[in-house]
Chains A and B, each alone.
Chain A
């Protein structure tokens, strides 16, 4: 509940002679339509972000015959994530960590530059609420009409309108859930399956869940999500400083408030008169029910719509615009002291720090992606028995070797062991070729586990733990992966035969 709402409520309660209770009913907000720069920016961002969200699953990306051709795909069944030219395996989830760090830092940077621009323009809660409000306005009319209709009688027309509104809301919500599931499997196929009721059970469940949450959060909860449920306003309040741009009301220009005529009379008499005509337009257009003239407050998502509303009024009464505008707290204080405002300082230690962290993490991720090994090799020595003596007295160690082929075509790897002369490598189930090499074929974008036997002939003196290296070389490209391990032998301690 905003400061304004609370003051109004307390005033009303005081008039009744009742003290403030500990729990408050929600005051319904009827945001008025508004035109202007920030409204246009918000429309553009709404179209852009929703356009990406709804259409991205249908974008195709050719990866050849062995991989899906959907540009963005979370393939849970095969445990792969595809993003255009990037493909990520489960063990590479650190890319996601990097992405989350970048996302958090970008949020901090936005906050350091211009307060809650995320909340006001980009947050899904804001975007969908904006869309739902637009639908509401289109069907039920603007603020005044809606307020009257809510108090008025139920007519057939009213029932029709309300039903139409909820129907359209539910359609948008359903489409939102529908788009979500398309990110997890081939989108065109799933659309057909869903339409013919042959889709997977999980898809329907997720569509229902997201339909409900979208409908409920954007249709009903709206600003309550931002004020009471979301942690970000609290975090950003702790992160911000006096040099961040925020939507502010200029007290020095606006106060004392007076009607247009009164203000003119006061000015004529050389008495102080503010530009604020107390038209309440800034409050009326606010989607969270904030009166920006009460200063920065936690409910304000800083969408800038009050700036548009105030500028419209100021233009009409031929006063300079910018009575409400983006400004820093430092300037608000300067103005209060009668000093001249200063230019916004974009380059500050915290903006440099956040940008540097973003650049660093981004750089590391780009480097990691660019040098990503398209093959992998991991080796696990048998624990029991650690070595085996064969009938001719030779000593054998067994290893479980996993080869990873991260390329989208089948490959053959030449597996060799280094570090011991006369050691012979065999793979159970894989025949040696004519030149005596063991080539292991690994399918496209797959791993293969093989049992590898390394044997040292009788009489060869080996220490009881000998360092060895496995090398898997791509038979075509020649790129190689290495893995260290040990060869365990009875050594001198166990010379006596059992």
Chain B
């Protein structure tokens, strides 16, 4: 300890200084309360305790796990389990209710829509688009044109078992390759393509012979698409008179369809997603705007 007479006392305040000086400015010694210091020591002790109990120090290929065994991954798993448990009553109610009952109950419907939206983003969006807007060969789920029916039960069946999928209950049909198999000659394909365009009022080529086109259509297409080309939900045969074209409305595209056939597939989700999620998806897709 320094003797008192050596202590540097600031003349103006009469207070001792710390002895530190910067360019003539000296620091007054206003002592810090000791409990501040003890808090500092306390935090150091706490940090040591933390290192012992929790994962803390990174090693080359791992880390010190800590005595408590806590990990953020396990915490997330626990949180998810808690969430599942929290949702359980609503999920149960959804599982028990029929699709029609869900549609009538605002609470169930809201829950199904929320669950359906999430499941759609995870499973359906890659083909149908984030909002179900579709693309060439992937149907737009917002419009009112449905190949296999737009009622909520129809949609549910399509999602559950798919179209031309591997599931035994799959919806199935085929647009034959009229050209490739030689059923129709190229000139006939050309005529019928023009005829199909005329059904929805699209302009036709000068070579189009209405009688010939109609005859080819009558003999080859009307079995599935109907005499007037209105389509058939049972075979997933599209309505050729409306304004919606899954593969495009150009003559080349239609001729290609007649020549090579069409038949895109939709996987069966039964078995991949649980029944409640499929129900929720059906409710969600039905509510996008085109549901019948």
Taking a contact as CB atoms under 8 Å apart, the answer to whether A228 and B33 are in contact is: yes
The answer to whether B63 has its CB under 8 Å from any CB of chain A is no
A391 CB-CB contact with B under 8 Å = yes
Check: A382 CB closer than 8 A to any chain B CB.
Answer: yes
Give the residue among B18, B31, B37, B140 with the most A Cβ atoms within 10 A.
Answer: B31
Inter-chain contacts of B243 with A (CB < 8 A): 389-393, 458, 497
- Are B288 and A20 neighbours in the complex by a CB distance under 8 Å? no
Q: 9 closest Cβ contacts across the A-B interface?
A: A385-B133, A24-B31, A391-B242, A384-B131, A393-B243, A20-B16, A388-B142, A19-B7, A497-B249
Q: In the complex, how many angstroms separate the beta carbon of B151 from the nearest chain A beta carbon?
A: 15
Mask of B234-269 contacts with A, CB within 8 angstroms, 1/0: 000001001111001100000000000000000000
A383 at the interface (CB under 8 A from B): yes
What residues of chain B lie closer than 8 Å to A458, measured between beta carbons? 243
Further contacts, 5 of them, CB under 8 A, given A17-B4, A385-B133: A23-B37, A390-B144, A393-B243, A396-B289, A451-B289
B-facing mask of A486-498, CB < 8 A → 1, else 0? 0000000000011
- Which of A6-14, A238-246, A278-286 contacts its partner? A6-14
What residues on B are CB-neighbors of A26 within 8 Å? 33-35
User: Complex Cα distance A391/B36, Å?
Assistant: 76
Contacts of B288 in A (CB 8 A): 398, 451
Is A152 on the interface with B (CB-CB < 8 A)?
no
What is the total number of residues of chain B having a CB less than 8 Å from a CB of chain A? 46
B75 contacts across to A, CB distance below 8 A? none
Which residue of chain A has its CB nearest to the CB of B246? A498
Q: How far is the CB of A311 from chain B (nearest CB, A)?
A: 30
Chain B nearest CB from A161 CB (Å) reads: 25
Q: Is the CB of B143 within 8 A of A391?
A: yes
A25 touches B29 (CB 8 A): no
| Complex interface: chain B residues within 8 A of A19 (CB) | 1-4, 6-7, 16
**Which residue of A is nearest B134, CB measured?**
A385
Question: Chain B residues with Cβ under 8 A from A383's Cβ?
Answer: 130-131
Known A6-B15, A429-B287; contact A17-B142, beta-carbon cutoff 8 A = no
Restricting to A269-320, which residues have a CB under 8 Å from any CB of B? Answer: none
With an 8 A cutoff between CB atoms, is B74 at the interface? no
Give the chain B neighbours of A25 by CB distance below 8 A.
Answer: 33-34
- Chain A residues close to B by CB (< 8 Å): 1, 6-7, 10, 13-14, 16-26, 224, 228, 382-385, 388-393, 396, 398, 428-429, 451, 453, 458, 497-498
- Report B's interface with A, CB cutoff 8 A: 1-4, 6-7, 14-16, 18, 29-37, 103, 109, 129-134, 136, 140, 142-145, 202, 239, 242-245, 248-249, 287-291
- For B31, give the chain A residue with the smallest CB separation: A24
**In the complex, chain A residues whose CB is within 8 Å of the CB of B2:** 19
Measured between beta carbons, the chain A residues less than 8 angstroms from B36 are 23, 228
Complex interface: chain A residues within 8 A of B1 (CB): 17-19
Q: A19-B2, A384-B129, A498-B245 are in contact. Are A391 and B144 (CB under 8 A)?
A: yes
C-alpha gap A331/B33 in the complex (Å): 34
How long is the Cα–Cα vector from A21 to B30 in the complex, in angstroms? 9
Are the CB atoms of A497 and B143 closer together than 8 Å? no
| Smallest CB separation, A288 vs chain B (Å) | 13
Note all chain B residues with C-beta closer than 8 A to A498. Answer: 136, 245, 248-249
A-B contact pairs, 17 of them (CB 8 A): A6-B30, A20-B16, A20-B31, A23-B36, A26-B33, A26-B35, A384-B131, A385-B140, A388-B143, A390-B144, A390-B145, A392-B243, A396-B289, A398-B142, A398-B288, A451-B287, A453-B289
* Complex alpha-carbon distance, A13 and B7, angstroms: 11
Question: Shortest CB–CB separation between residue B288 and chain A, in angstroms?
Answer: 7
Once the chains are docked, how many angstroms separate the CA of A18 from the CA of B129?
Answer: 81
CB distance from B285 to the nearest CB of A (A): 12
A17 interface neighbour in B3, B14, B244, Cβ under 8 Å: B3
Which A residues are CB-close (under 8 A) to B29?
20, 22
In the complex with contacts A1-B33, A20-B29, A389-B129 CB distance below 8 A: no
Contact of A1 among B31, B133, B142 (CB under 8 A): B31
Please tell me which one of the listed residues B30, B31, B248, B289 contacts residue A388 in the complex, with CB atoms under 8 A apart: B289
- Are B16 and A382 in touch, CB under 8 angstroms? no
- Given A14-B4, A19-B7, A391-B244, the answer on whether A396 and B142 have CB atoms closer than 8 Å is yes
For B242, the chain A residues whose CB sits under 8 A away are 391-393
Across the interface, do B289 and A398 meet the contact criterion of CB distance under 8 Å?
yes
Which of A22, A388, A390, A398 has its CB near the most chain B CB atoms (within 10 A)? A388
Are A390 and B143 in contact, CB atoms less than 8 angstroms apart?
yes
Q: Which of A18, A384, A428, A497 contacts B4 (CB 8 A)?
A: A18
Known contacts A228-B36, A391-B242; A382/B131 CB under 8 A: yes
